[in-house]
């Protein structure tokens, strides 16, 4: 499975106080199953459930606070 890693600095603050990370459909692919994993203190990854929104040609990961982690593309 392919993945894309992200850092806290990759997130942008939204007007409603959340943070979001944007990918284009061309980066992710059409019809991909997406899994978000947060990087833990010991360097391993843990699956988390957070909103993933789609709008036009973009996919957004939305969180309350920026996190380190990766997006798994299945």
β-strands 69-73, 34-39: how paired?
antiparallel
Q: What is the pTM of this model?
A: 0.83
pLDDT greater than 90 at residue 2: no
Give the pair of three-digit tokens for residue 35.
């899994």
- pLDDT for the residue 28: 83
Alpha-carbon distance of 48 to 37, in angstroms, equals 6
Averaged over 6-29, what is the pLDDT? 93
Domain assignments of the chain as residue spans, ordered by start: 2-45+65-73
- pLDDT tens digits, 22-68: 999 888 877 668 899 999 999 999 999 998 888 899 999 999 999 99
> What's residue 52's pLDDT?
87
């Amino acid at each position: 499975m392919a993945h894309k890693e992200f850092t806290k600095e990759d997130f942008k603050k939204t007007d409603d106080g959340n943070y979001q990370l944007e990918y284009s459909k061309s980066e992710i692919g059409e019809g991909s199953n997406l899994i978000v994993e947060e990087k833990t203190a010991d360097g391993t990854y843990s699956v988390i459930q957070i909103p993933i929104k789609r709008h036009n040609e973009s996919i957004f990961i939305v969180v309350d606070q920026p996190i380190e982690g990766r997006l798994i593309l299945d």
